[in-house]
A and B are shown apart, each in its own frame.
Chain A
Amino acid sequence: MSEPQTALQGATAQGFVTVSEDGLHGMISLRGDLNDPKLKAAVAKLTGAEVPAAGRISWKGDRGVAWMSPDELLVIGPYSSAGKDALVLSKALKGVHHLVANVSDARAVFRIEGAGFREVLAKLTPADVSMDAFGIGQIRRSRFAQVAGACWMLEEGSARVVCFRSVAGYIFGLLEHAARSGSEVGYF
Chain B
Amino acid sequence: MSTRLATGGRLLDRTRGLEFTFNGKRLRGYEGDTLASALLANGQTLVGRSFKYHRPRGIVASGAEEPNALVNLGESGRFEPNQRATTTELFQGLTATSQNHWPSLEFDVGVLNNFAARFLPAGFYYKTFMAPRAAWKHVFEPIIRRSAGLGKAPKDRDIDRYEHFHSHVDVLIIGGGIAGLQAARAAGASGAKVLLVEQTASWGGRAPVDGAEIDGQTAEDWIKNALVDLESKANVHLRSRCMGAGVYDHGYALAYERVADHTPGDGRPRHRLWRIRAKQIITATGAIERPLSFAGNDIPGVMLASAVRDYIANYGVSPGDRTVVVTNNDDAYRTAIALKAAGLVIPVILDARPEANGALVEEARDLRIRVEVGKGIAKVKGGKKVTGISICAQAGEGAALEDIACDAVAMSGGWSPVVHLWSHCGGKLVWDETNAHFKPDVDKAPTNQSGEGFVKTAGTASGAMSTGAVLQDANDAGKAAAKAAGFSAKSTAAPRVADVPEQPMAAVWSMPQGAGIKKRMKMWLDFQNDVKVSDVQLAAREGFESVEHAKRYTTLGMATDQGKLSNINGLAILSQSLNAAIPQVGTTTFRPPYTPISMGAIGGEARGELFQPVRQTSIHDWHAANGAYFEPVGQWRRPYCFRRASESVEQAVHREVKNTRQALGLLDASTLGKILVKGPDAGKFLDMLYTNMMSNLAVGKCRYGLMCNENGFLIDDGVVARIDEDVWLCHTTTGGAERIHGWMEDWLQCEWWDWKVYTANVTEQFAQIAVVGPNARKLLEKLGGMDVSKETLPFMQWANGVIGGFDARVFRISFSGELSYEIAVAASDGRAFWGALIDAGEEFGLMPYGTECLHILRAEKGFIMIGDETDGTVIPQDLGLEWAISKKKTDYLGKRAQERSHMTDPKRWKLVGLETLDGSVIPDGAYAVGQGRNANGQRITIGRITSSYFSPTLDRGIAMGLVEHGPDRMGEVIDFPTIDGTGTVIKARIVNPVFFDKAGEKQDV
Residues of chain A touching chain B, judged by Cβ–Cβ distance below 8 Å, are 1-2, 4-7, 24, 29, 31-32, 71, 83, 97-99, 101-107, 119, 122-130, 133, 145-147, 164-170, 173-174, 177-178, 180-183, 185, 187
Q: Would A166 and B764 count as touching, CB distance under 8 A?
A: yes
Contact of A174 with B610 in the complex, beta carbons under 8 Å: yes
Complex contact A99–B268 (CB within 8 A) = no
Q: A97-B680, A164-B615 are in contact. List 12 more A-B contacts (CB 8 A).
A: A1-B804, A24-B828, A31-B760, A98-B758, A101-B762, A102-B765, A103-B765, A168-B616, A170-B615, A178-B605, A187-B165, A187-B237
Nearest CB of chain A from residue B328's CB, rounded to whole Å: 45
Determine whether the beta carbon of A99 is less than 8 Å from that of B760.
yes
8 contacts between A and B (CB under 8 A): A99-B758, A99-B760, A119-B165, A145-B610, A170-B615, A178-B605, A181-B267, A183-B163
Question: Are B610 and A170 within 8 A (Cβ)?
Answer: yes
Residues of A within 8 A of B615 (CB): 164, 166-167, 170
- Given contacts A177-B605, A178-B605, A126 and B275 within 8 Å (CB-CB): yes
Q: Is the CB of B613 within 8 A of A147?
A: yes
Known contacts: A4-B828, A133-B168, A174-B610. The answer to whether A101 contacts B760 by CB under 8 A is yes
Q: Shortest distance in angstroms between B688's beta carbon and chain A's nearest beta carbon? A: 18
B679 and A99 within 8 A (CB): yes
Interface class of chain B by DSSP: mixed
A126-B807 Cα distance, complex, nearest whole Å: 40
* CB-based closest 10 A-B pairs: A4-B828, A99-B758, A166-B615, A106-B764, A182-B267, A105-B827, A106-B765, A1-B805, A128-B168, A31-B758
A122: chain B residues within 8 A (beta carbon): 165-167
Closest residue of chain A to B259, judged by CB? A183
Q: A97-B756, A146-B612 are in contact. Are A182 and B266 (CB under 8 A)?
A: yes
Name B614's contact: one of A6, A164, A170, A180 (CB within 8 Å): A170
Residue of B nearest to A83 (CB): B807
User: B274 to nearest A CB, angstroms?
Assistant: 9
1/0 per residue B757-797: CB within 8 Å of A?
A: 01110111110000000000000000000000000000000
Cβ–Cβ contact B765 & A101, under 8 A: yes
| B766, closest chain A residue (CB) | A105
Assembled-state Cα–Cα distance A144/B263 (Å): 29
Given known contacts A99-B676, A145-B605, A177-B605, A166 and B616 CB-to-CB distance under 8 angstroms: yes
Point out the residues of chain A lying under 8 angstroms from B765, CB to CB.
101-106
Asked if A29 contacts B760 (CB within 8 A), the reply is yes
Check: B606 CB closer than 8 A to any chain A CB.
Answer: yes
Smallest CB separation, B709 vs chain A (Å):
24
Report yes or no: A106 in contact with B166, Cβ–Cβ below 8 A.
Answer: no
Q: Judge if B829 is at the interface, Cβ distance under 8 Å.
A: yes
- Assess the B760–A125 pair: CB atoms within 8 A: no
Find chain B residues with CB under 8 A from A2 CB.
832, 835
**Set B163, B760, B831: member contacting A5, Cβ < 8 A:** B831
Could you say which residues of chain B place their CB within 8 Å of the CB of A102? 765
Number of A-B contacts (CB under 8 A): 142
The reply to whether B266 and A105 contact each other, CB–CB distance below 8 Å, is no
State how many angstroms separate the Cβ of B870 from the closest Cβ of chain A: 25
Q: Which residue of B lies closest to A130 (CB)?
A: B168
For residue B921, CB closer than 8 A to chain A, the reply is no
Whether A123 lies near B605 (C-beta < 8 A) is yes
Give the docked Cα–Cα distance between A129 and B277 (Å). Answer: 12
Set of chain A residues within 8 Å of B618, measured between Cβ atoms: 5, 7, 105, 165
Partner of B832, one of A5, A29, A128: A5
Residues of B within 8 A of A128 (CB): 166, 168, 277
Could you tell me which B residues sit within 8 Å of A by CB distance?
Answer: 161, 163-168, 193, 237, 266-269, 272, 275, 277, 604-606, 609-610, 612-618, 635-636, 676, 678-680, 756, 758-760, 762-766, 804-807, 826-829, 831-832, 835-836
A130 to B276, CA, bound (A): 13
Q: How near does chain B come to A74, taking the closest CB pair, in angstroms?
A: 11
Rounded to whole Å, the gap between the CB of A34 and the closest CB of chain B is: 13
Q: Report the Cα distance A104→B764, complex, angstroms.
A: 10
**Known pairs A105-B827, A169-B614, A182-B267; A97 contacts B636 (CB<8 A):** no
Measured between beta carbons, the chain A residues less than 8 angstroms from B237 are 187
A102 to B760, CA, bound (A): 10
By a CB distance below 8 angstroms, the chain B residues around A167 are: 613-615, 635
> Which residues of B have CB within 8 Å of A101?
676, 760, 762, 765
Q: Which residues of A contact B831 (CB under 8 A)?
A: 5
Find A173's partner among B168, B609, B827 (CB 8 Å cutoff).
B609
Instruction: Report A-chain residues with C-beta under 8 Å of the C-beta of B826.
Output: 4, 104-105
Distance of A107 Cα from B760 Cα, bound (Å): 14
Query: Across the interface, which residues of B come within 8 angstroms of A71, CB to CB?
Result: 758
CB closest chain-A residue, reference B679: A97
B193 / chain A contacts, CB cutoff of 8 Å: 130
Least CB distance from A172 to B in Å reads: 10
A140 to chain B, nearest CB (A): 12
CB distance from B525 to the nearest CB of A (A): 41
Shortest beta-carbon distance, A12 to chain B, in Å? Answer: 18
Tell me whether A166 and B610 are in contact (CB under 8 A). no
Bound together, the chains give a CA A24 to CA B765 distance in angstroms of: 12
Complex contacts, A4 vs chain B, CB 8 Å: 826, 828-829, 832
Known contacts A105-B827, A106-B765, A123-B605; A182/B610 CB under 8 A: no
A146 touching B166, Cβ below 8 Å: no
Q: A5 and B828: CB pair below 8 A?
A: yes
Pair A145/B606 contact, Cβ less than 8 Å: yes
Contact partner of B636 (CB less than 8 A), chosen from A130, A166, A187, is: A166
Contact B610 A1 (CB under 8 A): no
A125 and B679 CA atoms in complex are apart in Å by 35
- The answer, among B756, B758, B762, for a CB contact under 8 Å with A103, is B762
CA–CA, A102 and B765, complex, Å: 8
User: Is the Cβ of B763 less than 8 Å from the Cβ of A106?
Assistant: yes
Pick from A4, A98, A102, A167 the residue with the most CB of B within 10 Å.
A4
How far is it, in angstroms, between the C-alpha of A31 and the C-alpha of B758 when the chains are bound?
7
Cα-based distance from A10 to B606 in the complex (angstroms): 24
Residues of B within 8 A of A147 (CB): 613
Cα A174 to Cα B835 in complex, Å, equals 30
Query: In the bound complex, how far is the Cα of B421 from the Cα of A125, in angstroms?
Result: 25
Q: Is the CB of B269 within 8 A of A182?
A: yes
Neighbouring B residues of A180 by C-beta, 8 Å: 161
Given contacts A31-B758, A123-B163, A166-B764, contact A146 B829 (CB under 8 A): no
| B759 partner residues in chain A, CB cutoff 8 A | 99
Q: Please, which residues of chain B bring their CB within 8 A of the CB of A129?
A: 166
State A177–B826 Cα separation when bound (angstroms).
Answer: 30
A104 contacts which chain B residues (CB < 8 A)? 765, 826, 828
Q: Are A174 and B758 in contact (CB under 8 A)?
A: no
Contacts of B807 in A (CB 8 A): 83
**Within the assembled complex, what's the spacing in Å between the Cα atoms of A106 and B763?**
8
Q: Which of A31, A32, A125 has the most CB of B within 10 A?
A: A31
CA distance A4 to B829 in the complex (A): 5
- Which chain A residues border B827 with CB–CB below 8 Å? 105-106, 165
What B residues does A97 contact at CB under 8 A? Answer: 679-680, 756, 758
- Tell whether, in the assembled complex, residue A185 and residue B606 are in contact, meaning their CB atoms are under 8 Å apart: no
- Kindly state the separation between the CA atoms of A71 and B753 in the bound complex, as whole angstroms: 13
In the bound assembly, the distance between CA atoms of A167 and B634 in angstroms comes to 13
Q: Which of A106, A127, A170 contacts B613 (CB 8 A)?
A: A170
Shortest Cβ distance from residue B782 to the other chain A in the assembled complex, whole angstroms: 15
B118 CB to nearest A CB, Å: 55
* CB-contact partner of B164 in A24, A29, A123, A168, under 8 A: A123
Q: Quick one: closest B residue to A126, CB to CB? A: B166
Residues of B within 8 A of A177 (CB): 161, 163, 605, 610
In whole Å, how far is B745's beta carbon from the nearest beta carbon of chain A?
10
Checking A7, A83, A99, A106 against B678 with a beta-carbon cut-off of 8 angstroms, the contacting residue is A99
CA distance A128 to B165 in the complex (A): 11
Alpha-carbon separation in the docked complex, A32 to B678 (Å): 11
Q: Which of B756, B758, B762 has the most chain A CB atoms closer than 10 A to its own CB?
A: B758
User: In whole angstroms, what is the CA distance A180 to B163 when docked?
Assistant: 11
Determine the distance from Cα of A180 to Cα of B832 in the docked complex, in whole angstroms.
33
Question: Which chain B residues border A105 with CB–CB below 8 Å?
Answer: 618, 764-766, 826-829
